[in-house]
Amino acid sequence: MQRYQDRVEAGRALADLVSRHDYDRPVVLALPRGGVPVAAEVARAIGAPLDLVMVRKIGVPSQPELAAAAVVDGARPELVVNEEIARHAGLSRADLDRLAEVQLEVIRKRRAAYLKDRKPVDLKDRTAIVVDDGIATGATMRAALKAVRRQGPARVVLVVPVAAADSLAALRGEVDEVICPTVPTFLGAIGAFYVRFDQTSDDEVARLLAEAPQEKAS
């Protein structure tokens, strides 16, 4: 079983693979927090701006762990609804919009802490490279990819060091290309594929984003 020493090594392995492509106007988008150290290496290698895709689950009020929807930040925040669960829970679009606003406020505060006053990078007609440290069920990534696609990129590329085979197969329809060097039939825990898989701190996220390439002023 291939194991990465840590997220930085995983990011460098991915950076080598991504660098072999000549993507048009790429933007690297990380899912925080664990995806940021991985994505930072990719962004550095190809000289692309690094931004975040922040996803917050919207649980059914009586069962908070059951996701009726997810809200994703960006230049235009997006609500991705699980129609079947929302319908069974009796949640209207107005209910979901109200619940989403609560989660968007959490996203705004975290984005401000991580990126200060930096505005989201406009993805219109660009290559969006979406990065995380691994994919287990794929539910969060699915919401992220749907929201990214709605922002009008010319191409969406999913880049992860390890992913469950069935989850990755289910996500292929959301993207134009997948780069994932490790695809076990049985994943178990993502952390099993790393020697060190400590929690990424808020301070580390902020530091990596400050050090990463930024969008050049037009």
Give me the residues paired with residue 127 across strands.
Answer: 26, 155
The CA-atom distances, in angstroms, between 46 and each of 115, 128, 147 are 21, 13, 24
CATH 3.30.1310 residue ranges of the chain are: 55-115
The answer for residues whose C-beta is within 8 angstroms of residue 170's C-beta and 6 or more apart is 138, 142
**Residue range 55-115, CATH number:** 3.30.1310
**pLDDT below 70 — which residues of the chain?**
1, 74-75, 216-218
The CA-atom distances, in angstroms, between 39 and each of 9, 160, 177, 185 are 11, 9, 17, 24
End-to-end Cα distance, the chain: 46
Q: Among 3.10.20.30, 3.40.50.720, 3.40.718.10, 3.40.50.2020, name the CATH number for the domain at 7-53+119-211.
A: 3.40.50.2020
How is the beta sheet containing 127-131 ordered, strand by strand? 50-52, 26-30, 127-131, 155-159, 177-179
Which phi and psi angles does 142 have, rounded to 5°? -60, -45
What pLDDT was estimated at residue 195?
Answer: 97
CATH 3.40.50.2020 residue ranges of the chain are: 7-53+119-211
What pLDDT was estimated at residue 1?
Answer: 66
Cis previous bond, 33, omega within 30: yes
* pTM of the entire predicted model: 0.89
